[in-house]
């Protein structure tokens, strides 16, 4: 090839890191928009993520079956790029949808007015002063309004805007949900695929198809888990931490799975990894989706919902990143123990 194996590995790592940056930015923007829209938008975004995961598995199976190794890899990558382009087009089309566009425009107008009023308040101009008033009642400015007094004409000008929403405010509203989102995706990446890379098909003799089967089990179960919150809400903000705590048990389960000498002979079969991976997929999909949905619902204003959406999305990405590192360390420990 044009590159040596080591050079190709470096290029691949760089591409993965660059992809992670763009993915994190896109995901943060998407979940912020979903929280701003409200309703079932966040759950729909999660379901879409799960659906694309299943499509990627089908593409991998199709290319592996019908093409040699190198053409299969290029076909899979090009197909993924086309799917990404289609997703971007759909995002632009969503923003152009009249009801969504109206909400986004109103949100941006409130943000612009807030920035304008903040600048007026910081100028200290004796002719034009701005002050925030938090009392409500007749003859008084309502909470969240700025009263700008123009001394030239002696008349007040009111700009009804929402106060600035900080990350601290978002965490005070949805700290539990954000923490649960972090934990769920940390456990997921710490367990799978890191701790399953050393598994070999013993009873079904699947060879190189076994990892694809495991990924298929996870993605299908994950899609089901992300679809279920739209049909049945089994968790609330009060019970979400309990489910998240139980979810942590997947880490020791996968550690035992990666060390077959630690489990009975009757369980050393291919069905056990498939069952565990499917359970991880459906629980991660459901609990993770509920954490994001419940977090988005904590926002009381469009501005709060937007920031909460970005914070919970950041916690999700932080869980994925730290979980990947934990999975690498656990795999190293299991293989060298």
Determine, yes or no, domain membership for 140: yes
State whether 34 and 146 are in the same domain. Answer: no
- What pLDDT score does 260 carry? 84
State whether 224 and 270 are in the same domain. Answer: yes
Q: Which domain holds residue 37?
A: 26-96+165-336
Which pTM was predicted? 0.80
- What pLDDT score does 202 carry? 87
- Could you say which DSSP state residue 143 is in? T
Q: What is the residue-wise DSSP string for 250-304?
A: HHHHHHHHT-GGGS-GGG-STHHHHHHHHHHHHHHHHHHHHHHHHHHHT-SSHHH
State whether 139 and 227 are in the same domain. Answer: no
Residues 6+ apart with CB under 8 A from 278: 217, 218, 220, 221
CB atoms within 10 A of CB 24: 17
Determine, yes or no, domain membership for 112: no
* Cβ proximity of 157 and 299 under 8 Å: no
Q: What is the b/e burial string over 221-241, where b = at least 16 CB atoms within 10 angstroms of the residue's CB?
A: bbbbbbbbbeeeeebebeebb
State whether 89 and 46 are in the same domain. Answer: yes
Name the domain count of the chain.
2
Task: Name the domain boundary from 143, 160, 177.
Answer: 160
- What pLDDT score does 152 carry? 40
What token pair was written down for 71? 């053409």
- What pLDDT score does 283 carry? 98
Secondary structure element (H or E) that encloses residue 77, with its range: helix 69-96
Average pLDDT of adjacent 10-residue blocks, the chain of 337 residues: 79 86 85 84 92 93 88 90 92 90 85 70 48 42 44 43 76 96 97 85 90 95 96 95 98 91 86 96 97 92 87 94 92 83
Determine, yes or no, domain membership for 111: no
Strand partners, 146: 132, 159
* Residue whose C-alpha is closest to residue 29's, from 95, 84, 79: 95
How many angstroms separate the CA atoms of 61 and 208, rounded?
A: 11
- What pLDDT score does 172 carry? 93
């Amino acid at each position: 090839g044009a590159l040596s194996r080591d050079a190709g590995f470096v290029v691949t790592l760089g591409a993965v890191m660059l992809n992670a940056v763009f993915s994190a930015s896109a995901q943060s923007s998407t979940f912020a928009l979903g929280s701003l829209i409200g309703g079932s938008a966040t759950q729909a975004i999660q379901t879409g993520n799960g659906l694309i995961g299943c499509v990627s598995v089908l593409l991998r199976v199709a290319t592996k079956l019908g093409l040699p190794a190198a053409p299969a890899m290029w076909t899979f990558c090009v197909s993924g790029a086309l799917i990404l382009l289609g997703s971007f087009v759909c995002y632009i089309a969503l923003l152009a949808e009249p009801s969504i566009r109206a909400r986004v425009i109103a949100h941006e107008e409130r943000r612009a007015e807030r920035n304008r009023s903040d600048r007026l308040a910081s100028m200290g101009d004796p002719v034009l002063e701005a002050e925030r008033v938090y009392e409500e009642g007749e003859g008084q400015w309502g909470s969240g309004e700025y009263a700008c007094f123009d001394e030239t004409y002696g008349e007040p000008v009111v700009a009804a805007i929402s106060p600035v929403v900080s990350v601290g405010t978002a965490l005070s509203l949805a700290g539990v949900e954000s923490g649960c989102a972090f934990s769920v995706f940390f456990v997921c990446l710490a367990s799978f695929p890191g701790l399953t890379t050393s598994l070999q098909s013993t009873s079904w003799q699947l060879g190189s198809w076994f990892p694809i089967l495991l990924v298929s089990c996870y993605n299908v179960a994950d899609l089901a888990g992300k679809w279920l919150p739209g049909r049945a809400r089994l968790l609330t903000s009060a019970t979400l931490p309990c489910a998240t705590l139980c979810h942590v048990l997947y880490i020791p389960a996968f550690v035992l799975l990666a060390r077959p000498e630690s489990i009975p002979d009757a369980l050393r079969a291919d069905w056990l990894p498939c069952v565990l991976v499917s359970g991880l997929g459906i629980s991660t999909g459901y609990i993770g989706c509920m954490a994001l949905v419940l977090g988005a619902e904590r926002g009381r204003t469009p501005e709060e919902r937007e920031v909460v959406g970005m914070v919970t999305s950041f916690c999700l990405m932080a869980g994925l990143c730290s979980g990947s590192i934990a999975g690498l360390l656990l795999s190293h420990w299991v293989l060298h123990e």
